[in-house]
Each structure stands twice: as structure tokens, then as C-alpha cells.
Structure 1
Amino acid sequence: MTVSVETSQELDAADVVAAPHEKATAADADAHAAASVSDASAAPDVICEAVKAAAEENDIPIGFFVRLLWQESRFKATEVSSAGARGIAQFMPQTAVEVGLQDPFDPLQAIPASAKFLRKLHNQFGNLGLAAAAYNAGGGRIEKWLSRRSTLPNETRAYVKIITGHKAEAWIDEESTVYMPTDLPHKAPCEGVGGLSRQDQVATINVDLTPSASAMVRKAEADEVEDKKSAAVRKLRVAASSVARRVRAAASKAKARVVLLAARKSGKKSAVRLASASSGRKSSRL
């Protein structure tokens, strides 16, 4: 998954993040896998403890954090996505530099960096659902989505639903409550660590938005109302114009009928006068 920290003004730079020359090659990943001694599969207990510590340090629910990492890489420290995202937390090269991560293939570095990044996104938008969306699609894209200046990618929609159990729209319904599953995905490690379990677990989360995120949503809603009003006014104007045209056409037809009837009546009178005059002349000659 592409991880980005761009603002709305930096969204266009997302293409640079995923540029072909920055993508890791399969050979790079294989070489690193062979040399690395920090593969998650080699020390799952250490990895799980690192997840627990990072989640606690950044005030991120451990169940949410594990579900996100599992969705990202299935806890594979040497994972490289088709877009070039690397490691257990799937950092893009540029984002790794921005967050100060030296080796995204080292889970003991990547896990704390991922939790810290999620906390940053949470602070930017106000809740876990939008933080997950931004982790996948980039903060700038989420800002545009909140402002209704762009749509949310289907991949991101599915990502948020898998991790949080709710659609992305549920996470912008301010002051509502969501019940977020925090149980371990099937086959995910770390059962028993920090209270993690594969048994059904649900966290009650109040949906909050930061003032800036709330302002984006409220403005977008107000703009939508105004757009609907403007559309209704335009529709009424079109209808009124159509009615006016029909009225004018009917009036024109009525006027034409009046003129025609008047002409017919005038013609009949003239014919009667002519006939009467002709009859009078004939009588005088007799």
C-alpha cells in the first residue's frame, strides 16, 4: 500500500513517490531478505512486543495497529508491493525518508515509525478510520475527499472497511459512535500480546474530527446545499421560460385567429355590398 504524508498542496507529488525509478526491484528485496536477520518470521515474539510497545507509546489501539500491519504485509518484513512500498509497514521510499526511517525492511525500525505516523495522521484528521484511509491513500487525497473535490479510491474504501469494520463515510459522521473490531485476523501472530485475541473483540470509538477536518466537511456540505438550491432555481427558470414560450405561442395563434375571422367577416360584408350594388344596377336598366 502507498503510504504518503503529503498535504493537499503536495498531492500531485504522490506520483513522484511512486515513480518507477524509486520502486524497489525483486532483486533488491531478495538480496535484503538473504542478508537481514530481522525478518518477522525469525523472531515473532520480538516483533509482537515491538508492536505492543509502539502502539502504547503512540496511543494507538493494538488491535487496530495489528490489523493494519496484517493488511499491509501479512507481517512480512521483506515484502515489496507492486508500487514499491517496502517492509512490514509498507513505506514508500520517499515517505520513509520523511519520517526518518533508515531501513523499512527492518521491522524493529519500521513498526515504531508506522505507529508514530499513524498518530500523526490521527492528529491531523481526528480519528482512526481517517488515519487508516490517509495511511493508504495519502493525507492530501483524504483532504480532497473530505472537501468533496475528489472521490475516494476503491482500494482505500476496501482497506478502511477491512481494518475498521466500517465504511469510510462512517468516520466523518461527527459525534457518532462506531464499534470497531479489534480481534486478530485469521493466521495473524501476536495472540495474547497486549490482550490480543482471535475471539470477537470490539472497541467503542467516538467519531471525532479535528477542527480543520470538520471545517472541510461542513463547508462541503454547505456547498452541496447551495449547489442543489442553484440547480433547483435553474430548473424553475427553464420551466418558467418554457411556459412563457408556450403562452406567447398560444397568444400569437389566438391573435391570428381573430385577424382571420375579422378578415372573413369583412370579406362577407364586401361580397354582400357588391352583390347588392350589382342587383341595383340591373334593376335600373330594366
Structure 2
Amino acid sequence: MKARRFPEIDAVKGVGVIAMILLHSFVWWYVERDYGTMNPSRDFIESIFFLKVIGVLVFLIPVAAGFTFYHYFMKRAKAGQGRESLGFLLWRCGSLFVLGYAVNLLAWGGQEWMAWDVLQFFAVGFAVLGALSFFPFPATIAATALVALATPLLRGLWGTASDSYGIIILVGNESGTQYWPFFPWFILLGGGAIAAYLYENLPKKRRGALILGSAFLCAVFMVSGVFFVGGDPTNAWGPLIFLPPVWTVLGIVSAFIFALFSLRKLDVVISPSGFLGVMSRGILWIYAVHIIIGYRLSGAMKGMGLGMGGPFALFFILLMT
């Protein structure tokens, strides 16, 4: 089954991949360790706002994944081709699980190989979206809304300090060693599927209103101070990033919808063999390779006296790898 290419999605994913490598390069460079209590440098503290802005581009990737999943699987299921796609879905989800833990093992070693990270989250999220594919599309909208409403309630019920792996998967914890809990991050995947539905079904005359509406929501979230994830230099991967308010996640979805329909209105063209096209198509393996190589390479390069140029040097090496 060959997936349809959307130039708007290739643009968002390609830019997101570049932003992801840049963000990781900075954090790996300035943080003494990948988790826990750290001794941040002044350069890292001063770069936090820059990293927050870059981080929004990174968080657009899961929304784009939800968009692509809608076209690749959900539409087929609704057209009666679900049985054909179901085997592929199971294989893809299982592969993401295995690859996620393999990346952990190769990058962080045996002590951290069970960390819950983005590939495992995608596996669970795609499985849930796959199940929702066999129901009318309002079920996907309702499930996404339910996750948004339930997130603060479940955090209050279970807390965010538990070491239970099941609770970590659902709502996360504050350790800085577990990431991407289902609540609230499924909102990104569900929001991407909703954006794909609008992409196909929204009348052309209403697209301008959607662009303005999503831009207005982004502005409201920015003014309210919830648009960007937090930044804690003493716990770089901690709760300020991976346990954000639901409004922050909704702001990311709004930004994606604004970018998607703005790029569509501009009739953007992205060559599949061009730089952004390659970044978009190779996103899974680019992620895996740059995680495995990048963290270890940053440690090897820190003694070279590169100063502020260090993270940029690391970024360009990883970008060209």
C-alpha cells in the first residue's frame, strides 16, 4: 500500500525533524546528564526560550503522524478495507514497540532500556486510532476530547510521582526519565486525524475562517502563557515538558492546523527527493540513528573547546549523517 504524499505534511515533518535534531543537540551539549538533577551552564539557561520555540516545531510531528494515519489506515477501514490494513497496523505497532526499546538500549544502556518514549507512545496511539477507525468519525473526535477532559482528573487521581509502569504509560511521572504519556499526548494524534478529516471535507470557502480561527487560538494561548512548554534546566526532560497543561497541547494542534491550511492556500510544493522531502520520508530512521549516535557523540565532542559553537557543530554533523 503506497501512501499518498501531502506537500504540506512533508514541509511540517521536514522542518520538525530539523528542529528535533537542533533541540536535542543543544540539550545534550549543555546538560551534564540526560536526566535527574543537573548542573546547567549559563549558556543553556539563556537558550531555553529559543529551545521552547523550536520545541513547538518538534511537537508538530505527532500531529502530522495523526494526519497521515487518517489517510493511510482510517479511510481504508471506513471504506471496507480494514482487514487488508489490519495486519500492517499490527506489524507497524509491534515494530515501533521493539524499535523503541532497542533505541533505548543502544542509546542509554541497560539501566534505561525500559524508559517509555515516543516510539512506544506512537505504537499505543496508532493502535487506539486503528480501533476508532471502525466507528463513525465522531468517535475519534469524542475520544480526543475525552483525553483532554480526563487528563487533569487522572493526574489528580493517580498523581505524577508513581513508579508504576502502567501509570507512567497513562499519565507519566516527574522523574525526567519517562516521556510521552498517553494522557495528554494522544490529543496530538487525534488532533492530526481531525485535521485530516477537515482537509478532505471542509468546503474551500471556509478554509480562510479556519486559518483565522486557529491563528486566534494560538494568539490566545500565547497571551495566556500556555502555548510553549516549560523549561527547567535542572530537569531538562522533566514534567514541564512532558506533563504540560492540556491547553498547551491544544495550542500545538491549533498551530498545526494553521500551518497545514496556510501551506495549502499557498499551494506549497515539496519535492520527495528534495531536502525536506527526504527528512520527512526518513523521519523514523533519522530519529533512531540521531538518538543513538547524538548523545554519545556530544560527550565525545565536549572536550574540544568549541564553546557556543559546540551544539551547532553537533547539529550539523547529525543533520548530515
TM-score (norm 2): 0.21
Structure with larger RCO (C-alpha < 8 A, sep 6+): 2
Tell me which structure has the larger Cα radius of gyration. Answer: 1
TM-score (norm 1): 0.22
**Larger % of helix: which?**
2
